[in-house]
Structure 1
Amino acid sequence: MLIAFNKPFGVLCQFTGEGPTLADYVDVPGVYPAGRLDKDSEGLLLLTDDGKLQARIASPKFKLPKTYRVLVEREPSEEALEQLRRGVELKDGWTRPAEVRRVDEPEGLWPRDPPVRYRKNVVDVWLEIVLREGRNRQVRRMTAAVGHPTLRLIRWSIGEWSVEGLAPGEWRRIG
């Protein structure tokens, strides 16, 4: 069984713990997250009861592309985007190269609660970032390393599976 879940902001990627958890949204016994999203991130989380599938989705050795829509602070220069494309040095070593491009705000994007802070004199920009690895808070650390902190992070897809059509907190069985 495979479930696509649109994880809302502030929800922990576990079934137990303090604050909202997966148990508050997904009442299906025996499924576990294939990978993680931090509490401050939103979007696609895949849950499965199949250990081999879970490993294939979560393990960087399978290089499954993970696509993120990322709102960053200020307009990145082409040089900053190139740095992300080549790979960025973080405290735990160099990242693999990422696919990065500027995009419009995703169509039909749900509002975040709480909203991202708005500043009249600062232009924030949406990027699409595709990674084939998954380090802890990697996208946030990469954008910060090139001088453009992440304001909102949404995992849009993992491989062929997408969050499209799911409102925050909704899930659907996909396999």
Structure 2
Amino acid sequence: MSRIYLLHKPYRVLCQFTDPRGRRTLADYLDIPDVYAAGRLDYDSEGLLLLTDDGALIHRISDPRHKLAKTYWVQVEGEPDATAMRALRDGVTLNDGPTAPAKVRRLEGPEPTPRDPPVRHRETIPTTWLEIELREGRNRQVRRMTAHIGHPTLRLIRAAIGPWTLSSLASGAWRSETLNAPKAPAKPKHAASRRRRR
């Protein structure tokens, strides 16, 4: 039996518990001893981060050989056309080689809650929300993929890792689960407002 913690990491928070430069870290949101992040999420990205004290579970989640699906909500500059969307689905060639095919669709329903600070707004350039599912984990891969097709990422939220989803967790909030048996995958839902727990 393992315990896993699901944290909605806010924007501009480090995926570590200390920082000599005084930036915000996981310790500002989660006060549980001896847990470690299963994988990383960039300082300027938001969304689901999994933490546990179970080393074997961390390995199963974070090792790219297990190809655990990760789902992202991505706000990009402009409006990708059918050719750009097909390129993301088929795979694009980055400086470290071609990417594997990805599941990509325009995000339906209400947009995720606003970020603090907000994303820059330009009257003459629209933005589009995409949902991108990957089974590989290169450094800043989603941002590099959207830049490659000419639509830079403005905001990136990780919505799901395998069967674990952001669900209704508000930014900075967390919940815990006990793992007794494998969980069935669930489709991620947009984050809704919820009081932050410490």
Unpaired runs of at least 5, structure 2: 179-198
Q: TM-score, normalised by structure 1?
A: 0.96
Q: Deviations over 1:42-94 (max 9, x none)?
A: 00000011111111111111111100000000000111111111111111111
Look up the equivalent residue of 1:9 and give its one-letter code: Y
Look up the equivalent residue of 2:130 and give its one-letter code: L
Q: Deviations over 1:114-143 (max 9, x none)?
A: 100111121100000000011111100110
Higher relative contact order (CA 8 A, sep 6+): 1
Aligned to 1:119: 122
53, 58, 70: which one aligns with 1:49: 53
Aligned to 1:33: 37
Look up the equivalent residue of 1:28 and give its one-letter code: I
Aligned to 1:73: 77
**Which 10-residue stretch deviates more, 13-22 or 96-105?**
96-105
For residue 110 of structure 1, report the CA deviation from its aligned partner.
2.3
1:78-157 correspondence runs (5 A) = 78-104=82-108, 106=110, 109-157=112-160
Q: TM-score, normalised by structure 2?
A: 0.85
Residues 42 and 154 in structure 1, CA contact (< 8 A), matched pair in contact too: yes
Residues 5 and 44 in structure 1, CA contact (< 8 A), matched pair in contact too: yes
Distance in structure 2 (CA, Å) of the matches to 1:153 and 1:26? 22
Question: Does residue 161 of the first structure (1) align with residue 164 of the second (2)?
Answer: yes
Distance in structure 2 (CA, Å) of the matches to 1:156 and 1:35? 14
Residues 110 and 168 in structure 1, CA contact (< 8 A), matched pair in contact too: no
Q: Percent identity?
A: 61
Distance in structure 2 (CA, Å) of the matches to 1:104 and 1:49? 36
Distance in structure 1 (CA, Å) of the matches to 2:68 and 2:51? 16
| 1:106–1:3 CA distance, 2 compared to 1 (3 A) | farther
Residues 71 and 125 in structure 1, CA contact (< 8 A), matched pair in contact too: yes
Unpaired runs of at least 5, structure 1: none
- Equivalenced residue count is 174
| 1:38–1:106 CA distance, 2 compared to 1 (3 A) | farther
Aligned to 1:5: 7
CA-atom RMSD, angstroms? Answer: 1.1
Look up the equivalent residue of 2:11 and give its one-letter code: F
Distance in structure 1 (CA, Å) of the matches to 2:79 and 2:113? 22
20, 24, 28: which one aligns with 1:24: 28
